[in-house]
Amino acid sequence: MLEAPKLLAVNDVTKVFTIGGGFHRVRLRAVEGASFTLDEGEPEIFTLAGESGCGKTTLARMILGLLEPTSGEVLYRGTPVQELTKGGRRAQFNQEVQAVFQNPFETFNPLRPVETYLLETSRNYGSKDSNGAVQDAVAEALRLVGIDYKDVERKYPHEFSGGQLQRISIARALITGPKLILADEPVSMVDASLKMSVCNLFRVLRDERRVSVIYITHDLATAYYVSDRIAVMFRGNIVEMGPVSKVLVDPKHPYTKILRDSVPEPDPAKKWTGRIRLSGFEERDFLRQGCKFSGRCPKAMPVCDEKVPPTVEVDGVLVKCHLYG
Ligand X SMILES: Nc1ncnc2c1ncn2[C@@H]1O[C@H](COP(=O)(O)OP(=O)(O)O)[C@@H](O)[C@H]1O
Nearer to Mg ion, 49 or 297 (CB): 49
User: Rounded to whole angstroms, how far apart are CA atoms 59 and 236?
Assistant: 9
**Residue 55 found at the interface with ligand X (CB under 6 A):** yes
CB-based contacts of 302, cutoff 8 Å, min separation 6:
none
Nearer to ligand X, 147 or 247 (CB): 247
Task: Write the single-letter amino acid at 322.
Answer: H
- Point out which span in 1-9, 53-61, 196-204, 223-231 binds ligand X (CB under 6 A): 53-61
The one of Mg ion, ligand X, none whose footprint includes residue 251, by CB under 5 to 8 A per kind, is none
User: Rounded to whole angstroms, how far apart are CA atoms 89 and 123?
Assistant: 18
Q: Phi and psi dihedrals of 232, rounded to 5?
A: -95, 125
Interface mask toward ligand X for 3-42; x: CB under 6 A: --------------x-x--------x-x------------
Q: Name the packing angle between helices 114-124 and 131-144 (round to 10°).
A: 110
**Residue 195 found at the interface with ligand X (CB under 6 A):** no
Q: How many CA atoms within 13 Å lie on the side-chain side of 20?
A: 8
Nearer to ligand X, 28 or 201 (CB): 28
Interface mask toward Mg ion for 56-95; x: CB under 5 A: xx--------------------------------------
User: Rounded to whole angstroms, how far apart are CA atoms 115 and 96?
Assistant: 22
Nearer to ligand X, 52 or 124 (CB): 52
**Residue 47 found at the interface with Mg ion (CB under 5 A):** no
3-class SS at 80?
Answer: strand
Nearer to ligand X, 160 or 255 (CB): 255
- Point out which span in 46-54, 79-87, 192-200, 264-272 binds ligand X (CB under 6 A): 46-54
Residue 101 vs residues 22, 31, 216, 228, 306: alpha-carbon distances, Å: 35, 20, 10, 21, 38
Q: Name the site residues for ligand X (rule: CB under 6 A).
A: 17, 19, 28, 30, 50, 52-58
Q: Name the site residues for Mg ion (rule: CB under 5 A).
A: 56-57
